[in-house]
Amino acid sequence: MKTNINLFWILAAFFALLAAVYVVWEIIAVGRVEWVGAVAIGLCSVLSVFIAFYLRLVYRNQGGELAEDRLDADIDDGEAEQGFFSPWSWWPVALAGAAAIAFLGLSISFWIVAYAVPLVLVALVGWVFEYYRGNFGR
């Protein structure tokens, strides 16, 4: 993580230097500043600073390096609970198909979306409430 933070600080300095060189070059070549390129390169520097700042905050708040960041870590060191996922559930497949039909309707003709929205809602409700029916009902 520290390597990534340093990389983005270096990128920020590079883009700031590149923006200055770009502005000077345009003044020498054309006699005026080309603002679109200067602002775009300057904003690349600002974005790199934002990312470096965010990564530094995350690194500080997580309390140091995680197991994924260490070279000497084993696979077992970073094995935390990631969530619960149903291995037999068909609802994600139904939701993906309904969403594909909805996006197809957005790109081809809007009337297809009218048929896809109920399918999306049924698949979403079915996936959310699959543990409230059958053997898993309370």
| Tens-place pLDDT, residues 37-82 | 999 999 999 999 999 999 999 888 887 777 777 788 887 777 766 6
pLDDT of residue 125: 93
DSSP-derived letter for residue 62 is T
How far is CA 4 from its chain centroid?
16
Place of tokens 């390129």: 37
Give residue for tokens 């594909």. 100
What's the pTM?
A: 0.54
What pLDDT was estimated at residue 136?
64
Q: How confident is the model at residue 138 (pLDDT cuts 50, 70, 90)?
A: low
CA distance 49 to 45: 6
Has residue 102 got a pLDDT over 80? yes
pLDDT, position 61: 86
Joined tokens for residue 119: 């399918």
CA–CA distance, 41 with 14 (Å, rounded to integer): 10
